[in-house]
Amino acid sequence: MQRMLEGLIKFRQKDFEEHKNLFDKLKRRQEPHTLFIACSDSRVMPEMITKSLPGELFVVRNIANIVPPYKETHQDYVATTSAIEYAVKSLKVENIVVCGHSNCGGCASIYLPDEILNNLPDTKKWLELAQNVKKRVMVHLEDKDDEYMKEWLTEQINILEQIKHLLTYPYIKEKYLNKEINIYGFYYMIETGEVFIFNYENGVFELSN
């Protein structure tokens, strides 16, 4: 905690002063260009990996960067769905990024047995949204004992599944079809710092240049 408190002081003395004019411009409103949906994992830092300045990204973070499928009235998951709604309808972002990452504990947890997940009831309920990811992985996984390949497939298929969920939102689908909003899938490799971006034309994640 002491380190965090010292960081607050350093931010005010150094970083804030360097961007003082920007913060003054942002004091009354925000105009982010991108809704960035990322995992809550502490190793994933959207602004750092994209070198974005304050005011550029509207960030939504949750376990395994999940997007709940659209419902007219949500009883659950409103922390995520309301943020998506606000970003697209009120802030009118131009882009949506779904960013998954390597060694994702949330993605790994969809394979945990009930006796473990029963001790994490809220997490268990949340991960029910990713059950179709698990099914898709098991269809594509040739060697069921290859844990590395299962992890890799799960994390990347999960990104694509969440993009699919985004397009169940009528107001997003309309904008997407009218080319008023772009949707990207990012896969961030923690150990190398590399970001792979999904190429819709050939159906694979490609290393960003």
Residues 6 or more apart in contact with residue 152 via CB below 8 angstroms: 102
The dihedrals phi and psi of 6, each to the nearest 5 degrees, come to -65, -35
Q: Quick check: helix, strand or coil at residue 200? A: coil
Enzyme catalytic residues:
39, 41, 43, 101, 104
Helices (H), 118-208: 121-127, 131-140, 147-166, 170-177
**21: closest CA among 58, 59, 55?**
55
